Amino acid sequence: MKVLLIEDDASTAHYVLTGLREEGHEIDHALDGSTGLELACTRTYDALVVDRMLPVLDGLSLVRALRSAGRDAPILFLTALGGVDDRVEGLEAGADDYLLKPFAFSELLARLNALMRRAPARREETVLVVGDLKLNLLSRVATRGGQPIDLQPREFRLLEYMMRNRGRVLTRTMLLERVWDFHFDPKTNVVETHVSRLRAKVDRPFATELIRTVRGSGYLIDA
């Protein structure tokens, strides 16, 4: 399960992040409503855990904006506002469930699992988008700014993996395992060579760079 936690309280965030990661779930964290809204609109999540009292953009406004934008991932409000009117307001804004602070992690996990069971099956993504770069997984066509990009099969697989993980630093080991199916280090520069070729096709003809090197760590793609 991939979860977005939008919570500005450090201790609560640490509690939830640690618990979900120990359960084997993938989780992103935003400290304010504006950042959370951007992440929720540009990435795909199985569920969102949202605090009501957030800086920059409050939780209610965030949820209303997501529902207006057609984002239908299940949303669990996590808040100290426990009045009946508060709960009704949150649910009517578009949230699917409500959990009061303080809470037990076991209950949070149970509620998320229940939301996942009720959620309709999601259709598999067929087009990946990063900025003006599009990758159609059905037609196997890549375009940037409407211009086609000729990719070899391994380059397509590399770009697909990077775009599925946009904004995330991907290490050399991760790329070897997921793109080449190597579970050992071949002691070659195969990753560096293919990333360089991909950049020549995806970035160099255009004004904006999407593929970046994170020195000492790996590579990422983002707009």
Domain ranges of the chain: 2-118, 127-221
- pLDDT-derived band at 148 (thresholds 50, 70, 90) equals very high
Omega into 102 within 30° of 0, i.e. cis?
Answer: yes
- Provide the pLDDT for residue 121: 52
> Could you tell me the sign of the dihedral formed by the alpha carbons of 76, 6, 72, 34, in that order?
positive
221 contact partners, CB below 8 Å, separation of at least 6: 130, 159, 162, 163, 165, 166, 167, 210, 211, 212
Average pLDDT of span 106-134:
82
- CA 20-180-132 angle, 5° bins: 75
Paired tokens of 123: 């259709």
pLDDT band at 118 (very low <50, low <70, confident <90, very high): confident
Across 101-118, average pLDDT: 90
Q: In degrees, to the nearest 5, what angle opens at C-alpha 181 toward C-alphas 177 and 187?
A: 70
Rounded CA gap, 177 and 183, in Å? 6
Asked whether the domain spanning 127-221 has the same topology as the one spanning 2-118, the reply is no
Question: What is the reported pLDDT for 124?
Answer: 55
User: Does 207 have pLDDT greater than 60?
Assistant: yes
| Spatial CA neighbour of 161 closest among 145, 172, 148, 149 | 172
Indicate the pairing of strand 47-51 with strand 2-6: parallel
C-alpha–C-alpha distance, residues 87 and 97, integer Å: 9
Which CATH fold topology does 127-221 show? Arc Repressor Mutant, subunit A (1.10.10)
If phi over 0 gives left and psi between -120 and 50 gives alpha, with beta otherwise, what is residue 164? alpha
Class of domain 2-118: alpha beta
pLDDT of residue 120: 60
Question: What pLDDT band is residue 178 in, cutting at 50, 70 and 90?
Answer: confident
